Amino acid sequence: MGFRVESFAATLVSRSQLTIRSAKESVNALLAGQDADQAAVRRYRETIASGELAEGIDAFTQKRSPECVWHSR
């Protein structure tokens, strides 16, 4: 089981931290009974401005791992 956890953690770390942060914010807002749309739209715009959305699309179409550079502020 340890290997599967380590493998999953490595996958998460290699993915867009901006997208992961956005998903966590949305889930937390929904669990708190709040509307998650504003935060999701703000983060979506940030993925465009940072280039992470374009990189994700390019990586997918080129069948390669994305090179995500966003870091939390």
Where along the chain do its domains lie? 13-73
Residue 1 pLDDT level (bands cut at 50, 70, 90): low
| Contact predicate 18/43, CB 8 Å | yes
- Alpha helices per DSSP H over the chain: 2-14, 17-31, 37-50, 52-61
CATH of domain 13-73: 1.10.12
* Residue in this structure with the two tokens 């739209």, named with its chain if needed: 41
Structure tokens belonging to residue 48: 């465009």
Residue 32 pLDDT level (bands cut at 50, 70, 90): very high
In 3D space, the residue among 26, 21, 30, 13 whose CA is nearest the CA of residue 67 turns out to be 13
Please state, rounded to an integer, the average pLDDT across all residues of the chain.
86
Pairwise CA distance, residues 53 & 30, whole Å = 24
pLDDT for 73 beyond 60: no
